[in-house]
Structure 1
């Protein structure tokens, strides 16, 4: 079959129409230019967001709600701060930790050998009690805190030597020792309320006096580790007697108004309730110390 020259014959320069082939890209161009296709799409969301924010800010009810919420948050913050400062003032805590090396040394000696001490009255300056570093009779929370930590470490050593150490057992020792002190403080507060004793004792004062037992607990456990059960009971007896005497004399000035003279220099009258509270607080110390330490000595 003969083909007309120029219309698709073999070797002809004119071919039939095939699929369109895009032109080859420029080898010097790194990226295709697609900005024209996305220009409208990119502009639409930004416009919508701006309109949403403008509508929200222009709404007076939204502004009132934001302002009211900020006011409530500020008032709630002030109320929380007032309640915290009511029950736990930072300035009061600073007073109980105002100690130095000389005070700690003398107070530890007083806790172990209180029998020769004569003056147990807390000194005041312009109706404000002197800090512990200025008055050895002032209660502090530094010695109870450090003694509590030392007791926990010593309990871990004792349990490790007996092959009974575990984090759960050590945590139980720590929580039990802390809970017993809290129970003791609450019991003292309830007793003072029931006997209607008017004194300047605060919960921090009672916590300090109750926390001094940790010093005796440390010596009892240490005596048991070094000298066995005999050393434990000797140390327990000595520290318990010293602690009872210390608490009886310290609380005596706080709870017995009969020992504080009035304006004419005559002693005031007191009741039996103060005596019962003082003796009860002192008598419970050996029992609590024994309960918290006997399982650490075998």
Structure 2
């Protein structure tokens, strides 16, 4: 049987071979690095060094130093001008003593706001001023009868967050609830300040007490409202502040806050009562004192009743 010859494939030369796209040419500086992707831009050390050298030359330039000095001087004068104009309307230095509180003061103050029935005395303690003059009151950490801003600010924030939490538990939370509650609380405080300042103007009360005292006393009612909302929600199973439990707690906190304001604001609205040994304060007539007492009663009871009822139902 004859053996068939093996057939070896003959290589065929293709005339047209597809050309692959070559990478972009690499510069000599990137080849010296020898690292990284050639398609990616590599930082050039020479350029960096030159930029730092130019920066150093710029900073050593006398003209640049004069410009930097001028900028610092202008910034300093601008800051001083801003502080002077802001302090013309509001002195931030007077706000600092209102936050000088301690843990014991906060506890005693909260107890005083919620249980003011047997507290004595109500008069604020005085101390000699820097030059020995009278009329300087002790800070809150040294006198529980002194108003502070720490408790009112924290009470307002807690009230806003608590109202938002309750709305979320009821399935009614929306982002607008947070802003609406905060705006309502702020508007109430502003209206109270306008009422107090108008009453002081009409009654001729020229007491040197600062506006921050009145703002602080206006914020203490949020402590009672927080207690009312929490107790009513727990007792009524999340059905709001209605029911006899809610009304009972609201009545108590309202009366406690009203008595607290009546006793605390006497040094502001009834300044002549602080001086019984004769003096310029004794020149006020008995009729004017009666008008001031009526205004203090109306603010402590009627105004607080409207605002506390509105905020606890919001």
Do the two structures share a fold, i.e. TM-score over 0.5?
yes
8 Å contact kept, 1:96–1:132 = yes
Give yes or no for the alignment of 1:176 onto 2:184.
Answer: yes
**Residue number in structure 2 paired with 1:131:** 139
Q: Is the CA contact (8 Å cut-off) linking 1:217 and 1:293 kept in structure 2? A: yes
Q: Provide, for residues 118-164 of structure 1, a one-character-per-residue CA deviation record: whole Å limited to 9, x for no partner.
A: 21111111132101010011000000011111111211121112211
SS of the aligned residue for 1:133 comes to: helix
Pairwise CA distance, 1:277: 2.8
| Separation of aligned partners in 2, 1:108 and 1:189 | 26
Task: Determine if the alignment matches structure 1 residue 154 to structure 2 residue 139.
Answer: no
Structure 2 match to 1:99? 101
Moved more, 86-95 or 119-128: 86-95
Q: Aligned equivalents of 2:252 and 2:150: distance in 1? A: 23
2:199 alignment counterpart: 191
Answer with 265-274 or 180-189: which moved more: 265-274
| 1:245 corresponds to which of 248, 256, 259 | 259
Who is 2:309 aligned against? 290
Query: If the length of structure 2 is used for normalisation, what is the TM-score?
Result: 0.68
Tell me the CA shift for residue 175 of structure 1. Answer: 1.1
1:111 aligned to which of 97, 113, 117:
113
Rg comparison, structure with higher value: 1
Q: 1:116 to 1:267 in 2, by over 3 A?
A: farther
What's the Cα RMSD here? Answer: 2.9
Q: Which residue of 1 aligns with 2:148?
A: 140
Distance 1:82 1:258 in 2: 35
Structure 2 residues not aligned, in runs of 5+: 1-26, 30-62, 129-133, 237-241
Indicate conservation of the 8 Å contact 1:103/1:136, yes or no: yes
Q: Distance in 2 between matches of 1:112 and 1:158?
A: 23
- 1:81-96 equivalences under 5 Å are 81-96=83-98
For the structure 1 residues 276 and 72, does the alpha-carbon distance in structure 2 shift closer, same or farther, using more than 3 Å as the test?
farther
Q: Residue 248 of structure 2 corresponds to which residue in structure 1?
A: 234
Q: Is 1:224 aligned to 2:232, yes or no?
A: yes
Query: Structure 2 CA distance, aligned partners of 1:266 and 1:238?
Result: 39
Q: 2:223 aligns with which of 209, 215, 220?
A: 215
Q: How far did 1:77 drift?
A: 4.3
Matches of 1:266 and 1:257, distance apart in 2: 11
The whole-number CA distance in structure 1 between the counterparts of 2:95 and 2:280 is 35
Give the drift of 1:258.
Answer: 3.3
Distance in 1 of aligned mates of 2:142 and 2:262: 22
Look up the match of 1:203: 211
Flag the 1:119–1:285 CA change in 2: closer, same or farther, 3 A: same
**Taking structure 1 as reference, are residues 275 and 75 closer, same or farther at Cα in structure 2, changes over 3 Å only?**
farther
Could you say what secondary structure the match of 1:165 adopts?
A: coil
Between 1:278-287 and 1:85-94, the stretch displaced more is 85-94
Looking at structure 2, the residues matched to 102 and 71 of structure 1 have their Cα atoms a distance apart, in angstroms, of 46
In structure 2, distance between residues paired with 1:258 and 1:30: 93
Structure 1 gap segments, 5+ residues each: 1-28, 32-56, 58-62
Contact 1:188/1:277, CA 8 A, preserved across alignment: no
Assess if the C-alpha contact under 8 Å between 1:192 and 1:277 holds in 2: no
| Count, aligned residues | 238
User: Structure 1's 30 and 96: CA in aligned 2 closer, same or farther, altered over 3 A?
Assistant: closer
